[in-house]
């Protein structure tokens, strides 16, 4: 699918013109284009990227094949950006969709293999506020990038909820069989987030340096602000990854403490049975001429001695805080 907006003399003059006219419109004075390719067919890729705009074959190949990392490539009169936007259709994992930019002096071409809320939102905004496109394709590209970075916030909220669930799991005596896979899964998503955000930040930082003639100086402060926002996202992901490690260590320490407490109780119970075992074993040997059997009230005395000895051991353990 190809969505095209044509601005002529600072006014929206056409929507979705014939693909065959794009090459002519690109060279027409006073014309500004945004061409958005949404899951295009092979024929549409050739018509727009190869014939109408004559982009470099390597840049087209980067679009068609999945590029795992963001990057920036200058090609003379245009710049090719590979970025990643959040996939809003994800349910139980953090996912991104590649978004390619071709930024020229009077055009912006975007390419993505799945529908993106970012481009849909910007298109709606352009139709409501046509002056946004008049400000230049560099400002327009910044608008898309800004919304793309904003799109990471729901994903961050999703990850924060998962981290809170892990913490609740620790506090409410969850099992290690459930906790460990949950921590590994969240850390894997955080690593994926940092893996995408870090080079994306580097791409924006390079644009913010003002080396490209396609980026006006007035746009540079906005790009630096985007770089700072991506830095905050990366720092937040790193902080959460460390927090998960601390949470897991807390779980291990808590489990060890509970295990030690159980062992201490069992040891105390064993110690408390020592007097009865000793006295019962001694009286149960059935030796001849044992004077204890001839003492009046021998059984009550023996029972009292057993209780007293057990109570003394119990009192000693409580003073030592062993029980």
Quick: pLDDT tens for 116-161: 888 888 888 777 765 555 567 888 888 888 888 887 877 777 777 7
* Residue 210 pLDDT level (bands cut at 50, 70, 90): confident
* Residue 319 pLDDT level (bands cut at 50, 70, 90): confident
Q: Is the pLDDT of residue 316 over 70?
A: yes
Spatial contact of 31 and 6, defined as CB atoms under 8 Å apart:
yes
The mean pLDDT of 34-47, rounded to a whole number, is 86
- Between CA 295 and CA 126 the distance in angstroms is 107
- Between CA 140 and CA 34 the distance in angstroms is 9
The mean pLDDT of 55-70, rounded to a whole number, is 83
CB-count burial class (<10 Å; 0-12, 13-18, 19+) for 27 = exposed
- Between CA 221 and CA 261 the distance in angstroms is 59
Q: Is the pLDDT of residue 259 over 70?
A: no
* Residue 282 pLDDT level (bands cut at 50, 70, 90): low
Spatial contact of 152 and 200, defined as CB atoms under 8 Å apart:
no
Residues in the chain: 323
Spatial contact of 37 and 44, defined as CB atoms under 8 Å apart:
yes
Burial 152-174 (b: 16+ CB within 10 A, else e): beebbebbeebbeebbebbeeee
Q: Is the pLDDT of residue 80 over 60?
A: yes
Q: Is the pLDDT of residue 309 over 60?
A: yes
Helix (H, G, I), strand (E, B) or coil at 320: coil
In Å, how far are 20, 92, 160 from 152, measured between CA atoms?
37, 15, 12
pLDDT in tens, 214-224: 888 888 898 89
The mean pLDDT of 178-200, rounded to a whole number, is 77
List, by residue range, all CATH 3.30.460.20 domains of the chain.
Answer: 2-252
Q: Is the pLDDT of residue 307 over 70?
A: yes
Give the model's pLDDT for residue 216.
85
The CATH topology of domain 2-252 is Beta Polymerase; domain 2 (3.30.460)
């Amino acid at each position: 699918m190809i969505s095209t907006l044509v601005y002529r003399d600072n006014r929206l003059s056409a929507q979705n013109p014939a693909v065959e006219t794009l090459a002519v419109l690109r060279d027409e004075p006073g014309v500004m284009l945004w061409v958005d390719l949404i899951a295009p067919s092979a024929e549409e890729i050739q018509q727009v990227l190869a014939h109408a705009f004559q982009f470099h074959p390597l840049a087209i190949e980067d679009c068609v094949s999945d590029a795992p990392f963001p990057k920036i490539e200058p090609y003379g009169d245009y710049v090719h950006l590979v970025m990643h936007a959040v996939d809003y259709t994800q349910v139980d994992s953090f996912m991104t969709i590649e978004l390619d930019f071709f930024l020229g002096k009077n055009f912006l071409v975007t390419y993505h293999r799945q529908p993106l809320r970012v481009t849909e939102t910007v298109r709606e905004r352009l139709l409501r506020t046509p002056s946004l496109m008049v400000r230049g394709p560099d400002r327009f590209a910044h608008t898309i990038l800004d919304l793309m970075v904003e799109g990471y916030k729901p994903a961050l909220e999703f990850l924060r909820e998962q981290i809170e669930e892990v913490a609740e799991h620790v506090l409410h005596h969850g099992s290690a069989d459930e906790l460990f896979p949950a921590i590994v899964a969240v850390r894997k998503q955080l690593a994926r987030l940092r893996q995408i955000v870090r080079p994306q930040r580097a791409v924006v930082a390079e644009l913010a340096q003002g080396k490209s003639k396609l980026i006006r100086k007035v746009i540079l402060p906005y790009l630096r602000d985007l770089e700072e926002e991506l830095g905050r996202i990366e720092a937040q992901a790193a902080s959460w990854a460390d927090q998960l490690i601390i949470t897991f260590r807390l779980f291990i320490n808590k489990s060890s403490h509970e295990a030690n407490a159980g062992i201490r109780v069992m040891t105390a119970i064993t110690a408390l049975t020592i007097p009865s075992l000793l006295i019962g074993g001694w009286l149960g040997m059935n030796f001849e001429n044992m004077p204890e059997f001839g003492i009046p009230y021998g059984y009550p005395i023996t029972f009292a001695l057993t209780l007293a000895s057990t109570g003394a051991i119990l009192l000693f353990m409580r003073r030592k805080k062993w029980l």
